[in-house]
Amino acid sequence: MPGQRSGESPPAACRARCVFLGSLAALALALPAAAGEGLPKRERLQELIPRFLEAGRDAALAARRAAVDWRDPRSVEAWLAVAPLSPRDELEIDMFLRRYELALPRPVEEWHLGWLALHPGEGRRLHGDAEVERALARVRPGDGSGAEGGEAAAPASESPGAMVVGPNRNVAGADTPEPLEYQGEIQVAADPRDPRRLVAAANTWDDMGGTCGEFGLQAVFWSANGGASWQYTCAPAAPAYGMNCPALGGIGTFGSDPAVAWDDQGNVFLEYMLLCALSGTDIRFAIVVARSGDGGATWAPQGVVRNSWATGDLEDKNFYAVDTFATSPFHGRHYTCWDRNNDEKVAWSTNGGATWVEVDLPEPAAYGSHDLGCDIAVEDDGTVHVAWDRYACGSSACTDERMFHTRSTDGGQTWSTPVQVHNYNLTGFSGAEFPPAQNERGISLFGSIAVDNSGGECRGTLYVTYTDVATAGASAVTANVYVRRSTNGGGSWLAAQRVNNDGTGTNTQFHSFLVADRATGEPVVAWHDTRSDTAGDERVDYFVANSTNCGQSFATNTKVSAPSAEFRNTAVGYTNLNTGATQNPNANPNQYGEYLGLDVHGGRAFVAWTDSRQFHPSFPAEPQVENVGFVEVRFDAIFRDGFETGDARIWSAIAP
Tell me what the mean pLDDT of segment 33-50 comes to.
75
Please indicate, yes or no, whether residues 177 and 306 belong to a single structural domain of this protein. yes
Q: Mean of the per-residue pLDDT values for the chain? A: 84
Q: Sorting pLDDT into bands at 50, 70 and 90, what band is 106?
A: low
Please indicate, yes or no, whether residues 215 and 304 belong to a single structural domain of this protein. yes
pLDDT at position 641:
36
- Least confident span in 145-159, 382-396, 605-619: 145-159
Question: Looking at 423, 440, 468, which one is the last position of a domain?
Answer: 423
Q: Which amino acid is at 294?
A: D
Tell me what the mean pLDDT of segment 481-504 comes to.
96
Domain that holds residue 52: 15-24+37-140
Please indicate, yes or no, whether residues 366 and 435 belong to a single structural domain of this protein. no
Asked whether residue 157 is assigned to any structural domain, the reply reads: no
Cα angle vertex 233, ends 528, 575, to 5°?
Answer: 20
DSSP string, 201-247: EEEE---TTTTSTTTT-EEEEEESSTTSS-EEEE---GGGGT--SGG
- Which stretches of 505-570 are assigned E, i.e. beta strand? 509-516, 523-529, 539-546, 558-559
Residues 6+ apart with CB under 8 A from 164: 141, 154, 155, 156, 157, 633, 634, 636, 637
> Which tops the pLDDT comparison, 259 or 103?
259
pLDDT at position 110:
77
Q: Sorting pLDDT into bands at 50, 70 and 90, what band is 648?
A: very low
Please indicate, yes or no, whether residues 614 and 477 belong to a single structural domain of this protein. yes
Inform me whether the pLDDT recorded for 103 exceeds 80. Answer: no
Question: Looking at 423, 441, 472, which one is the last position of a domain?
Answer: 423
Asked whether residue 49 is assigned to any structural domain, the reply reads: yes
Tell me what the mean pLDDT of segment 275-304 comes to.
95
pLDDT at position 644:
30
Share of the chain above pLDDT 70, in %: 85
Whole-angstrom Cα distance, residue 357 to residue 349?
A: 6
Residue (of 453, 486, 472, 419) closest to 601 by Cα position: 453
Inform me whether the pLDDT recorded for 507 exceeds 70. Answer: yes
Asked whether residue 31 is assigned to any structural domain, the reply reads: no
Whole-angstrom Cα distance, residue 444 to residue 64?
A: 39
Asked whether residue 323 is assigned to any structural domain, the reply reads: no
Asked whether residue 320 is assigned to any structural domain, the reply reads: no
Other CB atoms within a 10 A radius of the CB of residue 337 amount to: 26
Whole-angstrom Cα distance, residue 268 to residue 266?
A: 7
Other CB atoms within a 10 A radius of the CB of residue 355 amount to: 13
Asked whether residue 598 is assigned to any structural domain, the reply reads: yes
Q: Sorting pLDDT into bands at 50, 70 and 90, what band is 349?
A: very high
> Which tops the pLDDT comparison, 32 or 645?
32
Looking at the 3D structure of the chain, how many domains does it have?
A: 4
Question: Looking at 253, 288, 313, which one is the last position of a domain?
Answer: 313
Whole-angstrom Cα distance, residue 588 to residue 439?
A: 11
Tell me what the mean pLDDT of segment 634-652 comes to.
41
Sign, CA dihedral 33-38-43-47, equals positive
Please indicate, yes or no, whether residues 247 and 332 belong to a single structural domain of this protein. no
Angle of helix 41-57 versus helix 120-127 axis, rounded to 10 = 130
Give residue 202's region: left, alpha or beta (phi > 0; psi -120 to 50).
Answer: beta
Please indicate, yes or no, whether residues 544 and 617 belong to a single structural domain of this protein. yes
Please indicate, yes or no, whether residues 444 and 559 belong to a single structural domain of this protein. yes
Please indicate, yes or no, whether residues 395 and 476 belong to a single structural domain of this protein. no
Q: What are phi and psi of 112, to 5 degrees?
A: -60, -45
Please indicate, yes or no, whether residues 110 and 226 belong to a single structural domain of this protein. no
pLDDT at position 99:
56
Asked whether residue 567 is assigned to any structural domain, the reply reads: yes
Q: Sorting pLDDT into bands at 50, 70 and 90, what band is 498?
A: very high
pLDDT at position 95:
64
Whole-angstrom Cα distance, residue 376 to residue 227?
A: 25
pLDDT at position 11:
35
pLDDT at position 38:
82
Tell me what the mean pLDDT of segment 494-503 comes to.
95
Asked whether residue 523 is assigned to any structural domain, the reply reads: yes
Cα–Cα separations (whole angstroms), residue 360 to 340, 447, 633: 10, 21, 38
Residue (of 515, 462, 504, 513) closest to 479 by Cα position: 504
**CB neighbour burial string for 188-203, b if at least 16 within 10 angstroms, e if fewer:** bbbbbbbbbbbbbbbb
Inform me whether the pLDDT recorded for 638 exceeds 60. Answer: no
pLDDT at position 2:
36
Please indicate, yes or no, whether residues 408 and 457 belong to a single structural domain of this protein. no
Inform me whether the pLDDT recorded for 502 exceeds 90. Answer: yes
Inform me whether the pLDDT recorded for 573 exceeds 50. Answer: yes
Q: Sorting pLDDT into bands at 50, 70 and 90, what band is 71?
A: low
* 364-410: pLDDT as tens digits: 988 888 999 999 999 999 999 999 999 999 888 899 999 999 999 99
Please indicate, yes or no, whether residues 563 and 527 belong to a single structural domain of this protein. yes
Residue (of 604, 593, 483) closest to 540 by Cα position: 593
pLDDT at position 558:
96
Inform me whether the pLDDT recorded for 614 exceeds 50. Answer: yes
* 5-30: pLDDT as tens digits: 333 333 333 333 333 333 333 322 33
* 160-206: pLDDT as tens digits: 346 889 999 999 888 878 888 899 999 999 999 999 999 999 999 88
Tell me what the mean pLDDT of segment 529-536 comes to.
92
Q: What are phi and psi of 135, to 5 degrees?
A: -65, -40
Whole-angstrom Cα distance, residue 215 to residue 196?
A: 31
Please indicate, yes or no, whether residues 467 and 589 belong to a single structural domain of this protein. yes
> Which tops the pLDDT comparison, 260 or 394?
260
Tell me what the mean pLDDT of segment 501-508 comes to.
88
